[in-house]
Amino acid sequence: MRLRLPASPVLRLTVGLVGLAACFLISIDLLFGSPASREDQAHPYMEAIAELGTREIVEQLLPLDHEAIEHAMDEFRRSHPMVLAVVVRDKAGALVASSGVPEPGAALSHIQVAIQSRGGAWGSADFAFASWSDSSGAGWLNSRRLLLPLGTALGMVVLIYFYLRRALHFLDPSAVVPDRVRTAFDGLTEGVVVLDLQGQVVLANKAFRQMASADAAKLNGRPLLDAARLELPAGEATTTPWESTIMTGVGRLGLFIRMGPVHDRRAGHLNCSPITDARGKVRGCLVTVADMTAVEKANIELHATLQELEHSRAQIELQNRELEHLASRDGLTGLFNRRTFFDRANACLSRAARTGQALAVFMMDIDHFKSFNDRYGHSTGDVVIQGVARHLQKTLRLHDLAGRYGGEEFCVLCEDIDEAAAAALAERIRVQVEREAGRGAHGTNDLSVTVSIGVATTGTCGTSDLAQLIELADSALYAAKQSGRNRVCFAPRASLQQLSIAA
């Protein structure tokens, strides 16, 4: 029948150490014996010495010479160093002779020998022997009280050392994994770690050790979180993924982690799978880590490149808008140039044709503009044009189109407007220009600046052609100038009608 040891490594070590201690103590007792048994073995020897000394003393008792008796006892003590003192008493207990005095506190063994005479008991001889352990001649080092504990301790240290060395070989996590398994794991490009039930590292392959920047000695037998300096997602702070896998038996996949020293942090995807025995009981956890550092670095570089491209695209769009603005605007007034105005006005007319909305076209000209150039110079003339354009934009609605038609002429297109509203808007423009456009036009001097406006609408003119509308509005403008300038004239279908008079 084979003896089955406890399954727990701790219990196995406990049983083994107790057995070693018991065997060692039994061996010490068999080899050296206990102090009590050695004293028992020496007792017959001490009795023989005492009887020999008693015979020598009896030979000196016949003449009862006290000096001779004490001399004989002194000689006997010198020949037998173990005898510390000899005392002779008569049968009444009176002292007859004595030799030697034991040292205070010395361990003694006493042997008493009776002295007989022809008439019966005469007295006794009392011998004091040194303790057997103190009389071996080896000094304090040979004392059994010191040698036994020291020898026991030294022997136990030696035996337990070799026992634990052998036991820990089997308990070493890396020792239980065959070399062929370690070699196979080291050949994997993905980091692989085998954990026990306590979450401590049993085996870490080469790829994982490189990611953690640690050798096997720093990983084996230590908690994975600390050994590999893992940084888990915020939601995994209380229970690690492998602890959850060990407790529930359910694996975890695709957790993004960081690991390794601060100067060389690695990024990876961590997966956990339970390790089970034949009965399905969880015995550990298999952790794999895919190194995503290069991918993360590439993503960061790609993101930076995309940001640069986005910034470049925004810059290009801004430049395109600036170029479009420059290409579509008049450089002096900021209004649409003639080409852009026509493009946008035609789009408005097409939209109005589909929806049936009414449109109005204004043709506007600065009165007596040539006199400004002749009297004050062309720079003042440019200031006058800019002032008129500025107040024109201020008065128009947001969706109205205004463009510089040429020289001091301006063209305006207004959507979704009838005749009355068009006339009112044109009058507001005229009044605003008259009041404000000439202020400070020539240094600090105010100039009198007015405009004449001709208006044509699709409702009254019966046409949706831009060129015809502009021609009709231009005819109305000519009529306004002929009527005295600084006024608004409206173009009906067949004839021109003056809608306002000079202010």
In tens, the pLDDT along 52-79 reads 877 877 777 666 677 777 888 888 888 8
Sequence-distant (6+) residues with CB within 8 A of 28 are 148, 151, 152, 155
- Which tens digits make up the pLDDT trace of 241-277? 898 899 999 998 888 888 888 888 889 999 999 999 8
- Domains defined for the chain, CATH in brackets: 33-135 (3.30.450.20), 179-291 (3.30.450.20), 329-498 (3.30.70.270)
- How far apart CA 408 and CA 363 sit, in angstroms, is 11
* DSSP state for residue 254 in the 8-state scheme: E
* Radius of gyration in angstroms for the set of CA atoms belonging to the chain, rounded to a whole number: 63
Confidence check: pLDDT of 120 > 80: no
User: Which tokens is 409 given?
Assistant: 């002429």
Classify residue 260 as left (phi > 0), alpha (psi -120 to 50) or beta: left
Please give the mean pLDDT across all residues of the chain: 81
**pLDDT on residue 69:** 78
- Spatial distance between the Cα atoms of 467 and 489, rounded to a whole number of angstroms: 18
266-276/401-406 β-pairing: unpaired
Any bridge partners for residue 455, and if so which?
A: 362, 490
- Please state, for a pLDDT cut of 70, what percent of the chain lies above it: 81
Q: What is the 3-state secondary structure (H, E, C) of 42-99?
A: HHHHHHHHHHHHHHHHHHCCCCCCHHHHHHHHHHHHHHCCCEEEEEEEECCCCEEEEE
- Using DSSP's 3-state secondary structure scheme, residue 240 falls into coil
Hey, CA dihedral for 163, 164, 165, 167, is it positive or negative?
positive
Between 13-27, 116-130, 428-442, the lowest mean confidence (pLDDT) is in 13-27
Q: Which residues contact 467 (CB under 8 A, 6 or more apart)?
A: none
Region 331-345: what's the mean pLDDT? Answer: 92
What does the pLDDT read at residue 135?
A: 45
Closest listed residue to residue 245, CA positions, set 225, 286, 274, 224? 274
- Please, which pLDDT band fits residue 140 given cuts at 50, 70 and 90? very low
> What is the number of residues in the chain?
503
109 φ/ψ angles, rounded to the nearest 5 degrees: -125, 125
Q: What is the reported pLDDT for 139? A: 44
Q: How far apart are the first and last CA of the chain?
A: 133
At 105 the pLDDT is: 56
The b/e string for 446-474 (b: 16+ C-beta within 10 A; e otherwise) is: ebebbbbbbbbbbebbebeebeebbbbbb
Helices 419-432 and 378-395: crossing angle, nearest 10°? 140
pLDDT for position 106: 57
262's CB contacts (< 8 A; 6+ apart) are none
Q: How much of the chain is helix, strand and coil, in % rounded to 5?
A: 50, 20, 25
- pLDDT for residue 472 is more than 90: yes
If DSSP states are collapsed to H, E and C, what string results for 340-394? Answer: HHHHHHHHHHHHHHHHCCCEEEEEEEECCHHHHHHHHCHHHHHHHHHHHHHHHHH
Which residues have C-beta within 8 Å of that of residue 470, sequence separation ≥ 6?
A: 361, 363, 411, 456
Residue 444 token pair: 């600090």
Would you say the pTM of this structure is higher than 0.75?
A: no
Nearest in space to 425 (alpha carbons), one of 434, 435, 414: 414
Residue 445 DSSP class? B
CA–CA gap between residue 316 and residue 343 (Å, rounded): 24
State the DSSP code for 434: I
DSSP 8-state class, residue 100? -
Give the residue, 416 or 47, on which the prediction is more confident.
Answer: 416
Angle between the N-to-C axes of helices 9-32 and 144-171, in degrees from 0 to 180, rounded to the nearest 10: 150
Crossing angle for the helix pair 338-355 and 466-482, to the nearest 10 degrees: 110
Q: What angle do CA 298, 304, 310 make, to 5 degrees?
A: 135
Q: What is the pLDDT of residues 141-191, one digit of tens each?
A: 445 555 666 776 777 777 777 776 666 555 555 555 666 777 877 888 899
